[in-house]
Copies of this chain bind each other. A is one copy, B any other.
Amino acid sequence: MWRVFMFSYKHRVRYYETDKMGVAHHSSFVYWFENARVEFLRDLGIDYKDIENAGYNLAVVEINGRFLKPVFYDELISIKVKASRFDGKYAKFDYYVFNEKSETVVKGCTKHFVVDRELKRVKLPDVFLNKIKEKLQERE
C-alpha cells in the first residue's frame, strides 16, 4: 500500500524563480511543495477545492526545507511527495525534489492541521478519507 501513497510532480524552473546568484531562490520550494501536494491529493481522488467548499482547509502549521544542491534555470525537476501521516485531523507530507540528473536537490516536509472556516481545529469528514482508501484499494 505504501508505494502507491506516493506521487511525482514535474515542474520547469522559471526565470522569475531565479535570483542574482543565478539559481532558483530558496523561496521557490514552498510553491513546489504546494503544487506537488495538491496534485497528489487530486491523484488520490480529492480536489482540494472540494475540501474547501465543504468548509475545511489543510492549514500549514510547519514547513521545512533543506537545500542540498543548487537548482538551475529551466531544469525540469521532479517533486516526489508522500503522505507520512494523514488522519482526519493532522497530515504530514514529505517531499524530495530531484533534478534532471536524478540528484536530490531539496528535501522537506509540511505539517497540517484540518481547520474550519474560522480556522479552528476540526476533523475532516470521513467521506474525504474514504475516497483515498477506495483509490488505494483500486490500485492494489
Main secondary structure of the interface of A (DSSP, over half): mixed
Q: Kindly report how many copies of this chain are found in the complex they form together.
A: 4
Name A22's closest neighbour in chain B (CB-CB): B20
Q: Which residues of chain A from 40 to 70 have a CB within 8 Å of any chain B CB? A: 47-49, 52, 57, 59-68, 70
User: Is A103 close to B, CB under 8 A?
Assistant: no
Point out the residues of chain B lying under 8 angstroms from A21, CB to CB: 20, 57, 59, 119
CA distance A52 to B65 in the complex (A): 24
CA distance A21 to B58 in the complex (A): 10
A: interface residue count bin? 35 or more
User: Is A30 close to B, CB under 8 A?
Assistant: yes
Extra pairs beyond A16-B30, A18-B20, A52-B73 (9, CB < 8 Å): A14-B35, A15-B34, A16-B31, A20-B21, A27-B30, A27-B31, A49-B74, A61-B67, A63-B64
